[in-house]
Structure 1
Amino acid sequence: MNEKLKLGIPKGSLESATIALFKRSGWNINVNGRSYFPEINDDAIDCAICRAQEMSIYVENETLDAALTGKDWIAENSSDVHVITDLVYSKVSSRPAKWVIAVAYDSPVKNIEDLEGKKISTELVKYTKKYFKERNINVTVEFSWGATEAKIVSGLADAIVEVTETGSTIKAHGLRIIHEMMQTNTQLIANHKAWENKFKREKIEQIALLLKGALLAEKLVGLKMNVPKERLEKIVSLLPSLNAPTVSSLYQSTWFSVETVAHVNIIRDLIPELLKNGAEGIIEYPLNKVI
């Protein structure tokens, strides 16, 4: 096969989570040591590992056909790319991350207007400058190479703009969040030329479909149980499902096999309720993909 899709995988904090997501979707990505070009079990794809901060630039200039990167870095780079789909996943939780403004816990600053004339440290420089300019708040924004939280403690900045999922790290550094600037999540993107190419577009759509299916499956489990005929209607009324539970009769019996899919958050309450109402032999099993 001559034509291949050049796919970017984010390096850094999302690298392991992304490779694990692809594995659940059917692709094994093997990163060999320091190589920036990992192997993948798909002859139609060539992979490259790049920093998420730069990924949208490489997609826009057609170095890469498609990639996964943060919505925040697309905004930071003002990249003209085609967003295929949102993919909410991370190394910590299944919630979107957010960029917040934080100050020292004992700072007199209560809101962003109080930052007039102050110095802000962040890695998200361009977006932060634009954000404050649109609100007519004059601030000095400086780039941070890392350890951004420490800039306030050391007196190098009055506030920081930092990404967080739970806010726990910011609080642990003695800081206080005063404002949320934006929510961000991983996005699958492509350049316009690749999207207009029939082969590459179909491959990108395949990746999007299976990645979303794997993410949805993380939140769901399968349930299977045996139910006596006289309790069937009650059990079915208790069960959630994508459409309706699957019900089939057991061989030469007045019992039925009932199968459904349910959200993981309700299982601990649902299973005892099913037992109480006559279900037996309940099996819970994980799902790889839900399409």
Structure 2
Amino acid sequence: MSAKLRLGLPKGSLQESTFQLFKRAGFNISVRSRSYYPSIDDPEIEVVLMRAQEIPRYVNEGVLDAGLSGLDWILENEADVVEVADLAYSKQTTNPIRVVVAVAENSGIKTIKDLEGKRIATELVRLTRNYLAKNGVTASVEFSYGATEVKVPQLVDAIVDITETGSSLRANKLEVIDTILVSTTRLHANHKAWADSFKREKLQNLAVLLLGALRADSKVGLKMNLPKDKLEDILAILPAMKHPTVSQLINSDWVALEAVLDEKQVRELIPALRRGGAQDIIEYPLNKVIP
């Protein structure tokens, strides 16, 4: 039987964005409802779906060779793993998530010191206790099974929770008094798998493709033709990741120019490029950008 990399991917809120990232990286993953073992079009990878909270523990114990989970859950599990890649994406955006301490508005609790003797609910019990100890605060920390925001102030004085946009906290009239951790998704491996040459190379290749897909996420390519005597004017308008590619058109005093840039710049750049003399402007999406 050929060797395989056993890879844990997050099930639940992060699942769809993870599958989309893998698709942009060149991997097609499909899963039947209620199945925890998706199919992937790479015979050297075996995928297991599980909660992101559990993946670092199974990677640490060697049940999984590697997995994708947030830095917050790696620290919560106190997992001794190898970080292969920092993948800056979450369920809604490409921004990192934050682990925050939140209290009810007008609660009178303004700093971490004000939590002395208070009750705190969280899914991240170890992380919270370590944070309190670091700040010299003694408080009661209890595990929350979910819907943590609604427990303040009737059941607990504060919560430690994960937020991406802050909308849920605001909807429940909570305010953040401190940020414990800024966390991104990490591709991580156990030490035994990392020491295996096949699995290490497989993980390194996977990291290159996933990071390339993330780099391309907010970028597009632009192609255009322009008179050679307009080139300096166009270069002054056009930002690029490095230097644009310029090639001579056959039997012509025109050149073709190609550049990669941030998608959000395009709507202002294209009219400016057109006024500057560029023609036949083509914008196209990118799957991967590999530096």
Residue in 1 that maps onto 2:54: 54
Residue in 2 that maps onto 1:245: 244
Q: Deviations over 1:216-262 (max 9, x none)?
A: 00121100111112211111232222331111222332221111101
How does 1:176-187 map onto structure 2 within 5 Å? 176-187=175-186
Residue in 1 that maps onto 2:81: 81
Displacement of 1:57 in angstroms is: 0.8
In structure 2, give the amino acid aligned to 1:214: A
2:122 is the counterpart of 1:122 = yes
Displacement of 1:150 in angstroms is: 0.4
Displacement of 1:283 in angstroms is: 1.1
In structure 1, give the amino acid aligned to 2:19: I
Residue in 2 that maps onto 1:289: 288
Question: What secondary structure sits across from 2:68 in the alignment?
Answer: strand
In structure 1, give the amino acid aligned to 2:38: P
The list of structure 1 runs, each at least 4 consecutive aligned residues, that deviate by more than 3 angstroms after superposition, is none
How does 1:62-77 map onto structure 2 within 5 Å? 62-77=62-77
Displacement of 1:272 in angstroms is: 2.1
- Unaligned 5+ segments in structure 2 are none
Q: Deviations over 1:181-232 (max 9, x none)?
A: 1101100000000001011111011110000000000121100111112211
Question: What secondary structure sits across from 2:132 in the alignment?
Answer: helix
2:109 is the counterpart of 1:97 = no
Question: What secondary structure sits across from 2:54 in the alignment?
Answer: helix
In structure 2, give the amino acid aligned to 1:187: R
Q: Deviations over 1:68-96 (max 9, x none)?
A: 01100010011011111100111211110
Identity %: 52
Displacement of 1:166 in angstroms is: 1.5
- Unaligned 5+ segments in structure 1 are none
Displacement of 1:30 in angstroms is: 0.9
TM-score under structure 1 length normalisation: 0.97
Residue in 2 that maps onto 1:17: 17
TM-score under structure 2 length normalisation: 0.97
Give the Cα–Cα distance (whole angstroms) in 2 for the partners of residues 80 and 249 of structure 1. 54
In structure 2, give the amino acid aligned to 1:119: R
Give the Cα–Cα distance (whole angstroms) in 2 for the partners of residues 239 and 280 of structure 1. 14
In structure 2, give the amino acid aligned to 1:185: T
Residue in 1 that maps onto 2:211: 212
Residue in 2 that maps onto 1:194: 193
Question: What secondary structure sits across from 1:234 in the alignment?
Answer: helix
Give the Cα–Cα distance (whole angstroms) in 1 for the partners of residues 66 and 191 of structure 2. 10
Aligned residues: CA RMSD: 1.1
Aligned length: 290
Residue in 2 that maps onto 1:156: 155
Q: Deviations over 1:135-174 (max 9, x none)?
A: 1111111110000000014x11001111111211100111
